Structure 1
Amino acid sequence: MSAIDVVGKYGAAVASGDMEALAATLTADVVWHQPGANQLSGDVVGPEAVLAHLGRFMKLSRGTFSLETESATESGVLVATTVRFTARREGADDLDQHGVDVFRVEGDRIAEIWLISEDQVGEDRFWGVAPA
Structure 2
Amino acid sequence: MSAIDVFNRYGAALAAGDMAALASTFDENVIWHQPGGNPLSGEHHGPGGVVALLGRFMELSAGTFALEVVDVVERGDLVAATVRFRATRAGRTALAQNGVDVFRVRGDAIAEVWLISEDQPAEDEFWG
d(CA) in 2 for partners of 1:123, 1:51:
20
Consecutive unaligned residues of structure 2, counting only runs of 5 or more, are: none
Aligned runs of 1:1-132 on 2, under 5 Å?
1-128=1-128
- Once the two structures are TM-superposed, the CA of residue 16 in structure 1 deviates from its matched residue by 0.8
Q: Secondary structure at the match of 1:8?
A: helix
- Once the two structures are TM-superposed, the CA of residue 70 in structure 1 deviates from its matched residue by 1.0
> Which stretches of structure 1, 4 residues or longer, exceed 6 Å deviation after superposition?
none
d(CA) in 1 for partners of 2:118, 2:61:
19
Consecutive unaligned residues of structure 1, counting only runs of 5 or more, are: none
Q: What is the CA RMSD across the aligned residues, in angstroms?
A: 0.6
Q: What residue identity is the alignment partner of 1:57?
A: F
d(CA) in 1 for partners of 2:97, 2:52:
22
Q: Secondary structure at the match of 1:13?
A: helix
- Once the two structures are TM-superposed, the CA of residue 3 in structure 1 deviates from its matched residue by 0.4
Aligned length: 128
- Once the two structures are TM-superposed, the CA of residue 68 in structure 1 deviates from its matched residue by 1.1
**Percent identity, aligned pairs only?**
64
Q: Secondary structure at the match of 1:22?
A: helix
- Once the two structures are TM-superposed, the CA of residue 102 in structure 1 deviates from its matched residue by 0.1
d(CA) in 1 for partners of 2:18, 2:67:
14
When the two structures are superposed, what TM-score results if normalisation uses the length of structure 1? 0.95
Q: Secondary structure at the match of 1:64?
A: coil
Q: What residue identity is the alignment partner of 1:117?
A: S
